[in-house]
Amino acid sequence: MDPSSPVVDVTAFVIQEIGALLFGMVFYFLYRQSRVVYFGLWGVAWVLRLLAAIFGFELLRTNHAGWLAPYATFEFAFAIVLVAAARAGFASGVKDWRTVLRLIPILPIFVALVYALAVTFSRLEAYHASHALVLCFVYFYNFLMLRKNVGFGARVFRFSLFLLAAAFLEHAIILMYLYNAGAAPAWARYLHHETYYDFTLHCVLAFAAMAMWSESQIDRIRDLTGELDHLRREVQNSLDLDRLTGLFNQAALAARVEGPADFEGVVTVCDMDNFKDINDRYGHLVGDEILRNIGNLLRSSIRHEDEAFRWGGDEFVILFRNQHSSVAAKRMTEIEARLHDFRVRGFGVLPISFSWGTAEAQGRTLREALDEADRCMYVLKRSRSAGEQSSAR
């Protein structure tokens, strides 16, 4: 080594060690919280940088070439791990750590090259220049590999990587100039100043990583909130549904009637004719099958914005939103016609009939329209019952 090399700068060494420890803790924390391999690899890289600084300190303190190999080994390991981080991206699988293992066999080759460099040039500024070029490539490679990440934190993180790549390119150029000029004290003073603004840029990088993690947590909380809202709506809907027919139940209808929202459209109340006789003759299982199929028929016969309710045992309510009575009456006639061909398993065709009444809700409350539709339904039911009795006579 060159005997004219200056004494080590203790202040720069302390800053490097504190910075490596701080950044390692930051990225380890991010890895523990997120389990993102990218952050974990950055944490490992800073531990390697911490060890490299110790060997670098001994190299400059003793001016002995023997310290160059371990110093270069840990510095290059730092670069390898950051390349592996760029390749892994923000994946979270353990298998992504294998990238590091594949690159580790390159270390002996690099150590041999470092020894050759030391023997050939016997000047540290040549090594520092080549090392700066390697780090320039590493940071720029990370910058390119994170193009898909969005968010303010990710943009600041990528911008910090770009600035670090540019800074290390500048280091390489200046160190090569100083090497050719043969100015050993000058390059040592330059490394002292380099330590300060490298530390500053890495601080920005660490805070950007924290911001990036915070943004990912906010996005996750937002996604979880959306999922919880969806589950809450599903639970609420399940509480409002009648289990047998799949229609809204009586409690849902009561809430709809008592609710503050106005309803514009037609209210229809329908009730099956002689359903008790069907239960007595064919049994409650057949009665349940009939109700279940009527529920399916009503759901398939109304629009998405309309609502169908099971009001009682065999009584149903349909709210035709923004419709007129003539349209609702036509729809109910079609439903009634389809029920005439109703089939029951094991019994064949079992015609079903039901009475219904309609009322428009414009200009009055939903309760008033519901009461009128209910009265109209019973009027029709009584008239049909009277007609059947006359026919029987």
CB count within 10 Å of CB 250 equals 15
Q: What is the distance between the alpha carbons of residues 71 and 352, in angstroms, rounded to a whole number? A: 91
Nearest to 117 by CA among 72, 79, 76, 78: 72
Give catalytic status of residue 314 as yes or no: yes
Q: Under the phi-then-psi rule, with left for phi > 0, alpha for psi from -120 to 50, and beta for the rest, what region is 283?
A: left
DSSP for 246-287, written as a single string: -SB-HHHHHHHHHSSS---EEEEEEEETTHHHHHHHH-HHHH
In total, the chain counts a number of residues equal to 393
State the sign of the Cα–Cα–Cα–Cα dihedral 148, 149, 152, 156.
Answer: negative
Q: Under the phi-then-psi rule, with left for phi > 0, alpha for psi from -120 to 50, and beta for the rest, what region is 122?
A: left
Q: What is the distance between the alpha carbons of residues 239 and 339, in angstroms, rounded to a whole number? A: 28
- Residue from 240, 314, 371, 374 carrying the catalytic annotation: 314
Residue with tokens 């950044």: 23
Question: What backbone torsions phi and psi does residue 94 show, to the nearest 5 degrees?
Answer: -65, -30
Q: What is the distance between the alpha carbons of residues 76 and 131, in angstroms, rounded to a whole number? A: 8
Show the tokens assigned to 5: 């090399």
Show the tokens assigned to 188: 């040592």
Give, in degrees to the nearest 5, the angle at Cα 323 between 318 and 324: 105
CB count within 10 Å of CB 284 equals 10
Show the tokens assigned to 142: 């990370």
Q: Which residues are catalytic?
A: 314
